[in-house]
Amino acid sequence: MDFTRRDTLALGAGAVALTVLPFRVNAAGEDAIAAFTGGAEVAEGGVNLDAPEIAENGNTVPIGVSAEGATAIMLLAMGNPTPGVATFNYGELAGSTMASTRIRLAGTQDVVAIAKMADGSFAKATKNVKVTIGGCGG
Amino acid sequence: MNFKALTAIAALMVAAPALTFADPDNDTLTINGEEMVTKAPLPAHLEDSMLTEIMSGWHFRNDDTQAMQMDDFDNPGMLAVEDAAAAWDTVEGTAGKSCASCHENVEDSMKGVRAVYPKWNEKAGEVRTLAMQINNCRTENMGAEPYKYDSGPMAAMEALITVQSRGMPVDVAIDGPVADTWEKGKEIYYTRFGQLELSCASCHEQNYGNMIRADHLSQGQINGFPTYRLKNAKLNTVHGRFKGCVRDTRAETFSPGSPEFVALELYVASRGNGLSVEGPSVRN
Amino acid sequence: MADGAKPRVKAPKSASAGEVVTIKTLISHKMESGQRKNKDGSVIPRSIINRFTCEFNGTSVIDVKMEPAISTNPYFEFEAKIPESGDLKFTWYDDDGSVYEDVKTVQVG
């Protein structure tokens, strides 16, 4: 039998293995936001959130945040059992209000960055990150 | 490939259209600014295979994972290299010696070593993997306990030795005294294992470039070992990875350090002859 | 985890006065989340680094509150303004009370 690689693939379309872990939400994320903002209004925009669209493994997902004029940025993984990830508090000698780190995501979900601005206002950015189940090949 | 193997593979393949086929990319891997050879012409012994060129597993990872390997600071596998550098100088065992007592500077004494392993050891009359050689020095030359074959300290010591060959082409011998072992490794590579009746070749030769359960299938090269995997956040040895791959075919697997895996390592290493030694690499 | 946690810092050795420099830090640490179970089903207790700070000559550059969702071997990249010659001091605070430190000197001029 002479199958090309793409034919093999087409056969696979019938018998599907789940690609992506399901989206999850929980109220704890909203609570954490409220605790950070004290319930103040949060504007969209003014925050950059750099995250992959598809993460190869949820264990180590690179994330970058920045927000001009922020004094602190809180990072949340809204679908994690405990949504808090980190809060960056910028000091007098911060060269900019940016930071990058690597985080854990328990499945496909929204990652949220909320910046607290010097004038006391809040701004936010949201990005959906798909987490794939790799794991094949040990 | 027979039909049964095909359906088994097909069943593992992914349906989501956006993810189904992604050719290996054409990016260039530099590590600390030094360019690596990640695509190379077929070694002569692979001319009757289905491959047209050999490729490092780096090309099959996404940009973020790739980037983590491009600078030693960003590569968490280098933490283990630092641990091993300390172990290199640490006296252990009844002979009161450290690796450095005999091999002095790892940078000089181990340069080029990784690139030619596994290799024939004349005195012992056997094919030795790097791990076997490390343990041989520990037990015979130091009177120390051997490391567990696929343990953290072993992976770290392999990584330290591997770094000294980084950028050099993999160049393992396949003839002369190792020929029999190499043939045995080749046979294992093409044997279909497990309920799924899949061989290494079913996935890594016939289907590289395809997505399998959301994982982008590479050629299963070992020029990047040991690998820091995002999945378990530690360095992984070649045999540890082989074990996982055989287990995925739902077969009983050989154990790390077994003659079967040693032969398989020699054979798989030779499929990468010409690629740069890249370890410790970063994989998902 | 008190032993085995080893910090690494990448920072420039020199800068011009007022220059903004990029800093990368990495520390070997399991960051056990407290949500994983071991083979017999019991929960592996949480053990993480919960705070990281960077100061220059005693003035804060960044102060990070860390949660269990930070990956094994925590990594940070950020920027600092260097007004004069002095020391960048990095401190990681472990759940178990351990404190890990590193210092990098930056020359100005």
Task: Specify the CATH number for the domain of residue C55.
Answer: 2.60.40.10
For chain B, the farthest-separated pair of C-alpha atoms sits apart, in whole angstroms, at 61
**Across residues C56-78, what is the average pLDDT?**
97
Residue C53 belongs to domain spanning: 6-108
Token pair recorded at residue A133: 């189940």
Architecture of domain B34-282: Orthogonal Bundle (1.10)
Residue ranges per domain, chain A? 19-129
A134 and B64 within 8 Å at the Cβ level: the answer is no
The beta strands (E) that lie in chain C are given as 7-10, 14-15, 19-27, 49-56, 59-66, 75-82, 86-94, 99-108
What is the per-residue pLDDT across B194-209, written as a single tens digit (0 to 9) for each? 888 889 999 999 999 9
Architecture of domain A19-129: Sandwich (2.60)
Alpha-carbon span A61 to A100, nearest angstrom: 11
Alpha-carbon span C42 to A73, nearest angstrom: 35
Helix axes B238-247, B259-270, angle to 10 degrees: 100
Residue ranges per domain, chain B? 34-282
B99 known ligand binder = yes
**Across residues B77-85, what is the average pLDDT?**
95
Contact of B244 with chain A, judged by CB distance below 8 Å, is answered with yes
Question: Which residues from chain C sit within 8 angstroms of residue B82, using beta carbons?
Answer: 6, 8
Token pair recorded at residue C100: 């890990």
Alpha-carbon span C78 to C76, nearest angstrom: 7
Alpha-carbon span C14 to C32, nearest angstrom: 36
Helix axes B179-190, B259-270, angle to 10 degrees: 90
Confidence of residue B9 (pLDDT cuts 50, 70, 90): low
Neighbours of B252 (CB within 10 A): 9
Facing residue for A11 by CB, picked from B10, B209, B243: B10
CA end-to-end distance (rounded Å), chain B: 28
Token pair recorded at residue C49: 């680094």
Which of the following is catalytic: B100, B116, B245, B251? B245
Confidence of residue A16 (pLDDT cuts 50, 70, 90): very low
In contact, B156 and B80? CB cutoff 8 Å = yes
pTM assigned to the model: 0.88
What is the per-residue pLDDT across B256-284, written as a single tens digit (0 to 9) for each? 999 999 999 999 999 999 999 999 999 99
Alpha-carbon span B27 to B56, nearest angstrom: 11
B192 known ligand binder = no
Query: ipTM of this model?
Result: 0.94
In contact, B268 and B201? CB cutoff 8 Å = no
What are the helix (H) ranges across chain C?
none
**Across residues B92-116, what is the average pLDDT?**
98
Which residues contact residue A27 at a Cβ distance below 8 angstroms, ignoring those fewer than 6 apart? none
CB burial of residue B122 (10 Å; 0-12, 13-18, 19+)? exposed
Question: Which residues from chain C sit within 8 angstroms of residue A90, using beta carbons?
Answer: 61-62
Task: Point out which residues pair with C56 in neighbouring strands.
Answer: C59, C88
Q: Is the dihedral of CA A124, A125, A130, A131 positive or negative?
A: negative
Tokens 């053990």 map to which residue? C47
Which of B267, B244, B266, B268 has its CA nearest to residue B132? B266
Token pair recorded at residue C56: 């220059």
C84 to chain B nearest CA, in Å? 26
Over 60: is that where the pLDDT of A14 sits?
A: no
Contact of B76 with chain C, judged by CB distance below 8 Å, is answered with yes
B102 known ligand binder = yes
**The pLDDT of residue C37:** 84
Alpha-carbon span B203 to B45, nearest angstrom: 19
Confidence of residue A37 (pLDDT cuts 50, 70, 90): very high
Task: Point out which residues pair with B54 in neighbouring strands.
Answer: B40
Alpha-carbon span C72 to A24, nearest angstrom: 23
A9 and B20 within 8 Å at the Cβ level: the answer is yes
> Per the domain annotation, does C1 fall within a domain?
no
User: What secondary structure letter does DSSP report for C36?
Assistant: -
Which of B27, B36, B29, B25 has its CA nearest to residue B60? B25
Contact of C45 with chain A, judged by CB distance below 8 Å, is answered with no
Confidence of residue B16 (pLDDT cuts 50, 70, 90): very low
Into how many domains does chain C fold?
1
